[in-house]
């Protein structure tokens, strides 16, 4: 085997993070090849607030975050607890468990800069992991349904941590304003066999007050949950 003009016996050669055979360089916790781990800081948190039906915003994962770990521990150690992790990109598109469709099995999700691994929902501890720095903002949500709990909703138990470069602007876990699905449905679209949607409202982080929708412009918006209504009549 010849590398850079030098021929060596044909033995297994490991490539380092610099993509050179025989190199022993590795990425540090900050995602820097050959780094010493001093160029980033550790961020962690816990989310266990009572959620409402639909998609509930948890946090923003900033550009440059590396070694991302998110765990959602199922209530009472039951796999089916009606709380599921979901990810949204900066365009507002769900890249994981969107539109009330949950992935049961392990999957790899390509994003700018890296690949995110998802454990699948069929686990007592649901996990999201990523090693390399992400090159786009991601938004973590928890999707709460009432299919299995039949109205008796339990708060999620989400713990997360990641590393962020020291030169990144320090910001709150949540933006100042964010969208949230309300517990109020819109008026039925028809007098007979119509549909209605959960209202989406803009919330101020401090105080959790409802504010004008204009404050939430530019923030990712959760998908609207829909249901049928006015089924007491017959269509003719």
Judged by DSSP in three states, 214 sits in helix
Q: Which of 174, 189, 206 is the last residue of a domain?
A: 174
Domain total in the chain = 2
User: Does residue 11 form part of some domain?
Assistant: no
Kindly state whether residues 60 and 121 are assigned to the same domain. Answer: yes
**∠ CA(15), CA(38), CA(89), 5° rounding?**
75
Identify whether residues 169 and 182 lie together within a single domain.
no
User: Does residue 85 form part of some domain?
Assistant: yes
**Residue 6 domain-assigned (yes or no):** no
- 94 and 146, same domain (yes or no): yes
Q: Are residues 191 and 127 in the same domain?
A: no
Residues 215 and 108 in one domain: no
**Residue 120 covered by a domain:** yes
Q: One digit per residue, pLDDT tens: the chain, 236 residues?
A: 555 555 555 555 677 776 777 778 888 888 888 888 888 899 999 999 888 888 888 998 999 999 999 999 998 887 778 899 999 988 888 999 998 999 999 999 999 889 999 999 999 999 999 998 998 899 999 998 876 555 577 899 999 999 999 876 544 345 577 888 877 888 888 888 888 888 888 887 766 778 878 778 777 887 777 888 888 887 66
As a whole number of angstroms, the distance between CA 25 and CA 40 comes to 18
Same domain, 152 and 206: no
8 falls within a domain:
no
Please tell me whether residues 139 and 39 are part of one structural domain.
Answer: yes
Whether residues 167 and 57 share a domain: the answer is yes
Q: Is the same domain home to 42 and 132?
A: yes
Residues 127 and 221 in one domain: no
Structural domain ending residue among the three candidates 155, 174, 193: 174
Q: Report residue 193: phi and psi, to 5°.
A: 55, 60
**Full domain range(s) for residue 33:** 27-174
d(CA 202, CA 134): 27
């Amino acid at each position: 085997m010849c590398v850079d003009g030098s021929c060596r016996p044909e033995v297994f050669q490991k490539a380092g993070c610099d993509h050179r055979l025989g190199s022993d360089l590795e990425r540090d916790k900050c995602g820097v090849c050959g780094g010493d781990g001093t160029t980033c800081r550790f961020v962690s948190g816990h989310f266990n607030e009572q959620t409402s039906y639909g998609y509930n915003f948890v946090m923003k994962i900033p550009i440059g975050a590396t070694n991302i770990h998110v765990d959602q521990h199922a209530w009472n150690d039951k796999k089916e607890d009606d709380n599921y992790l979901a990810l949204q990109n900066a365009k507002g598109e769900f890249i994981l468990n969107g539109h009330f469709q949950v992935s049961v099995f392990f999957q790899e999700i390509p994003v700018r800069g890296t690949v995110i691994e998802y454990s699948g929902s069929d686990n007592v501890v649901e996990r999201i992991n990523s090693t390399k720095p992400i090159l786009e903002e991601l938004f973590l949500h928890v999707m709460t349904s009432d299919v299995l709990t039949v109205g008796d909703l339990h708060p999620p138990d989400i713990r997360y941590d990641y590393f962020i470069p020291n030169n990144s602007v320090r910001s709150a876990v949540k933006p100042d304003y964010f969208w949230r699905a309300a517990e109020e449905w819109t008026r039925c679209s028809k007098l007979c066999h119509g549909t209605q949607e959960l209202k989406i409202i803009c919330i101020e982080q401090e105080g959790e007050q409802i504010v004008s929708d204009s404050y939430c412009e530019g923030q990712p918006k959760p998908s609207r949950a829909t249901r049928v209504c006015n089924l007491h009549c017959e269509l003719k």
